[in-house]
């Protein structure tokens, strides 16, 4: 029994390299299996067109191997979808954090304004208290020393 990983993957990589023309072997491809699928072509389209060696390659891959490949491809596609979902969640969170930052800034501004208003009110109350004390003293003086 083969493990889904090592041996099959090496076998496929070696045979697909052998089937590629020398120019394509040297050229680095930026395509991933997911990108190739999105382009509409099968995973081994370039090697299948090159010569009859592709048939030999494909005939050596068992149905079990093909199923493993399909499962891996589906797993990779699911990982890609999950990563896109996570990316969207992160963008949404960043937007929410930005909005909350603006709200916090507004709250801080309101707190500063309120603090300033309370300090001004305390100063006005202190002045009013002084005026009231002065008025009471003045009235007391007028009562004790009536000037007629």
The pLDDT tens digits along the chain (148 residues) read: 445 566 777 777 777 766 665 555 554 444 444 444 444 445 554 544 555 666 666 667 778 888 888 999 999 999 999 999 999 999 999 999 999 999 999 999 999 999 999 999 999 999 999 999 999 988 888 888 766 5
pLDDT value of residue 114: 97
Report field, pTM of the whole predicted structure over 0.95: no
Residues in contact with 20: Cβ distance below 8 Å, sequence separation at least 6, in sequence order: 46, 47, 50
Angle at 127 between CA 126 and CA 133, to 5 degrees: 90
DSSP state of 20: S
Question: In the predicted model, what is the mean pLDDT of the chain?
Answer: 78
Q: What are 32-54's pLDDT values in tens digits? A: 444 444 444 455 545 445 556 66
Determine contact, residues 52/45, Cβ cutoff 8 Å.
Answer: no
Helix (H, G, I), strand (E, B) or coil at 27: coil
């Amino acid at each position: 029994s083969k493990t889904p990983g090592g041996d099959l993957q090496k076998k496929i990589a070696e045979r697909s390299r052998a089937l590629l023309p020398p120019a394509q072997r040297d050229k680095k491809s930026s395509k991933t299996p997911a990108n190739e699928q999105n382009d509409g072509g099968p995973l081994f389209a370039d090697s299948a067109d090159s010569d009859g060696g592709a048939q030999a390659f494909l005939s050596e891959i068992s149905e079990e191997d093909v199923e493993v490949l399909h499962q891996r491809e589906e797993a990779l596609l699911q990982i890609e979808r999950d990563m896109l979902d996570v990316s969207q969640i992160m963008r949404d969170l960043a937007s929410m954090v930005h909005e909350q930052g603006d709200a916090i800034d507004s709250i801080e501004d309101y707190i500063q304004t309120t603090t300033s208003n309370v300090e001004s009110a305390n100063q006005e109350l202190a002045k009013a208290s002084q005026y009231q004390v002065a008025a009471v003293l003045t009235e007391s003086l007028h009562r004790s020393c009536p000037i007629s």
